[in-house]
Amino acid sequence: MAQLIDELFIKHFDNELLRQHNDQALFKLPAGRLAISTDGHVISPLFFPGGDIGSLAVHGTLNDVAMSGAKPLYLAAGFILEEGLPLADLEKIVISMAAAAKGAGTPIVTGDTKVVEHGKGDGVFITTTGVGVVPDSVTISGDRAEPGCAILVSGSIGDHGVAIMASRENLQFQTTIVSDSAALHGLVADLVATAPTALRCLRDPTRGGLATALNELAKQSGVGMVIDEAKIPVRAEVKAACEILGLDPLYVANEGKLVCICDAAAADDLLAAMRRHPLGQDASIIGEVIVDPHGFVQMTTAFGGRRIVDWPVGEQLPRIC
Amino acid sequence: MAQLIDELFIKHFDNELLRQHNDQALFKLPAGRLAISTDGHVISPLFFPGGDIGSLAVHGTLNDVAMSGAKPLYLAAGFILEEGLPLADLEKIVISMAAAAKGAGTPIVTGDTKVVEHGKGDGVFITTTGVGVVPDSVTISGDRAEPGCAILVSGSIGDHGVAIMASRENLQFQTTIVSDSAALHGLVADLVATAPTALRCLRDPTRGGLATALNELAKQSGVGMVIDEAKIPVRAEVKAACEILGLDPLYVANEGKLVCICDAAAADDLLAAMRRHPLGQDASIIGEVIVDPHGFVQMTTAFGGRRIVDWPVGEQLPRIC
């Protein structure tokens, strides 16, 4: 069985480093700082509209690496399998993962598999780690937002979370919405090429959604933010689904969107660069960074008032990624 | 709760990169090739004589990185927590993990935490990824064993597996044996310093034990091996425990030992270097590499005959690491 699984991985992830059968991968890196990020994926269900745990485990980690401005280069993958997982399901996941890695140009060069007893896991958990290299000219970090900076989002929010909620079998709810799960490093490369020094913060608003990502950035940078509800792209179907489910799209997870904070002077150029990329066609400038010692994120609502967009209370959607 | 956990990690793993609160860590690396390895840890029980899942998750991955001849530099950690895990247990694990990382000089610079429902996990699973750098002068790989090479092991085998078996509550079995869980990169550095070009293969015989590690290396290199049972260090208590449990120590897991294959001319120097290191005091030259198109590992037994040391059949000890 163990051998069968190993062969499955080597067959589909096929690359020279993995075929060496060592317990580690060795490679030369281009010049620059190393960026590393790791993410556990425990999404339920394993298969959902727009992807599965395999493609998500590639995109989720690549995106975290890319949010430093890095070009992601290689992936490592650790699988925890529950006894009883149908081999056909595992193969489907591995094939999807291999396709996502190939599409992103980031081979899975080393890995590990563990098996736990039935009832001690849930099908499969996948923890991926990505490495990439950031050119020395680029300095993107969550603590670099300053008053006057513009806040951009690369597209419509909430698609991933709503797609997952809809696909959970205990919800009697149908929708055409699919997860936005995608690798964002191509979009990031375009932004870096457009205005390398004007880019200050990048973050992918996954668990906790846009509201959480903005609050994190405001806290890290010690600033406030004002965003405009009317400027935030939300699909009509997502808005409708959120109303039915009692969710606020600002807090719903995304897996193929990014928030960008940049010098105001470069905002229009970066917006144009986003819109030229297939993953940024619905990009929008949604607000600006302000002075605020409390670090509040405020939103001008459709009714003209302002409200605080607070940190999420509790976990809205468990096992969303 | 999520915040509490994050604070726990940042408090104990404390380092500058982690405190930046970005979704990735960025750092400069010394010159050389990057070595990366990832390992999931699902050991049961979480606490055992000689360690716990936290220290094991550091040692296990560092050792895989070190087996390339690399100096491990940084770690990433992904936690999958089961609802209901006592926070005190998690803190104990995190403190032990932090101590192991500090002791090894390899800070945990980025991480991730996911929570799954009670009954969908088993306390905590920890997937760690390590990166290090291999000097250009060093080429250690599982496919470099050649007929005539010597085979060394750094110490007594089977300690980890027997310690875990003894601590499982369903076994009415007591022993003084503790796991050998330890970080081996200091020992590897001494070997590299002693005979950098004579070192051919290094492997830590974890799951599947010495027998599996030797079979893997024989297969990768396309060679046979002959080892001498009398030369293989096994503690008397481990031997006794294995007899009671019906186990063969050759197949029992280790977490602080390595197998070294080297040019015969350098074997005595490397043996002496191992014995000077606290983790290699019981090191021994156990056999040699031979020509064998079948890739068999043979053992001269205590009775003077020879038997094949085969690949393990099935998994002897589930969730041993």
Q: What is the mean pLDDT of residues A164-190?
A: 85
Given a cut of 90, whether residue A127 has pLDDT beyond it is yes
The helix/strand/coil state of B52 is strand
pLDDT digits (tens, 9 = 90+) for B91-109: 999 999 999 999 999 999 9
Does B37 score more than 60 pLDDT?
yes
3-state per-residue secondary structure call for A161-191: HHHHHHHCCCCCCCCCCCCCCCCCHHHHHHH
Cα distances (Å, whole numbers) of residue A38 to A77, A78, A209, B134, B317:
10, 10, 19, 22, 28
Q: Please give the mean pLDDT across all residues of chain B.
A: 94
pLDDT above 90: residue B220: yes
pLDDT-above-70 percentage for chain B: 96
What residue in B sits closest to A24 (Cα-Cα)? Answer: B37
Nearest CA in chain A to B43: A116
Q: Measuring CA to CA, how many Å separate A138 from each of A27, A148, A188, A201, A204?
A: 23, 20, 12, 11, 18
Strands B47-48 and B51-52: antiparallel
Which distant-in-sequence residues (6+ apart) come within 8 Å of A67 by Cβ?
A: A140, A184, A188, A202, A203, A204, A258, B22, B23, B24
Look up tokens 């709760």; give the residue: B1
Token output for B238: 């481990």
Any idea where the domains of chain A sit in the sequence?
2-134, 150-308
Asked if residue B50 has pLDDT above 80, the reply is: yes
Output the pLDDT for position B2: 65
Are A271 and A210 within 8 A, CB to CB? no
Query: Mean pLDDT score of chain A, rounded to an integer?
Result: 94
What's the pLDDT tens digit per position in A63-101?
A: 999 999 999 999 999 999 999 999 999 999 999 999 999
DSSP-derived letter for residue A74 is E
Q: At what angle do helices A53-66 and A87-104 cross, to 10 degrees?
A: 30
| CB atoms inside a 10 Å sphere around CB B65 | 33
Which residues of B fall within a CB distance of 8 Å from A204?
A: 23
- CB contacts of A68 in chain B (<8 Å) are 22, 24, 26
Interface test with A, best of B19, B61, B64, B129 (most A CBs within 10 A): B129
- Name the maximum alpha-carbon separation found in chain A: 63
- pLDDT bucket at A169, cuts 50 / 70 / 90: low
Query: Do strands A71-82 and A124-134 pair parallel, antiparallel, or not at all (unpaired)?
Result: antiparallel
Phi, psi of A276, deg, nearest 5: -75, -20
Q: What is the pLDDT of residue A303?
A: 86
Q: In this structure, which topology does domain B2-134 adopt according to CATH?
A: 60s Ribosomal Protein L30; Chain: A; (3.30.1330)
C-alpha span between B245 and B162 (Å, rounded): 9
Four-residue CA torsion sign, B3, A34, B57, A25: positive
**Which DSSP letter does residue A246 get?**
T
Owner of token pair 């015969």: B264
First to last CA, chain A: 28
Q: What Rg do the C-alpha atoms of chain B give, in angstroms?
A: 20
d(CA A270, CA A264) in angstroms, rounded, equals 10
Q: pLDDT tens, B131-158?
A: 999 988 899 999 999 999 999 999 999 9
Q: Is the pLDDT of residue A175 over 70?
A: no
All residues of chain A having their beta carbon less than 8 Å from the beta carbon of residue B36 are 24-25, 74, 76, 109-110, 129, 131
Tens digits of per-residue pLDDT, B254-283? 999 999 999 999 999 999 999 999 999 999
Q: Is the pLDDT of residue B206 over 90?
A: yes
Q: Nearest-5° angle of CA B92, CA A41, CA B111?
A: 45
Q: Å from B319 to nearest chain A CA?
A: 7
What is the C-alpha to C-alpha distance for residues B57 and B53, in angstroms, rounded to an integer? 6
Chain-chain contact of B74 with A28 (C-beta, under 8 angstroms): no
* Percentage of chain A exceeding pLDDT 70: 96
Asked whether residue A172 carries a pLDDT value surpassing 80, the answer given is: no
Whole-number pLDDT of residue B169: 56
Backbone φ, ψ for residue B53 (5° rounding): -60, -25
| Closest by Cα among A119, A136, A99, A127 to A13 | A99
DSSP summary character for residue B149: -
Q: Is B230 exposed, middle or buried (0-12, 13-18, 19+ CB in 10 A)?
A: exposed
Report the percentage of chain A scoring pLDDT > 90: 85
**Are β-strands B71-82 and B124-134 bridged in parallel, bridged antiparallel, or unpaired?**
antiparallel
Closest CA to B51 of B87, B95, B21: B95
Q: How do A297-300 and A150-153 pair as beta strands?
A: unpaired
CA distances from B286 to A308, B30, B152, B168 (A): 69, 36, 6, 31
ipTM of the complex: 0.95
Please check whether the domain covering B150-308 is classified as CATH 3.90.650.10. yes
* Mean pLDDT on A141-155: 98
B10, B26, B170, best to mutate vs chain A, most A CBs in 10 Å: B26
The pLDDT of residue A318 is 82
Chain B partners of A36 at a C-beta cutoff of 8 Å? 24-25, 74, 76, 109-110, 129, 131
Q: Is B212 helix (H, G, I), strand (E, B) or coil?
A: helix
Question: A214 exposed, middle or buried (CB, 10 Å; 0-12, 13-18, 19+)?
Answer: buried
pLDDT of A5 reads: 75
Structure-token pair, residue A107: 């081979």
Tell me how close the Cα of B206 comes to any Cα of chain A, in angstroms: 11
Q: Which residue of B has its CA nearest to A3?
A: B314
Instruction: For residue range B153-176, list pLDDT tens digits in order.
Output: 999 999 999 999 888 855 656 668
The distance of A236 to chain B (nearest Cα, Å) reads: 30
Helix (H) or strand (E) holding B229: none
In the block, tokens 């030797």 appear at B214
Burial of A91 (0-12, 13-18, 19+ CB in 10 A): middle
Interface test with A, best of B82, B114, B310 (most A CBs within 10 A): B114
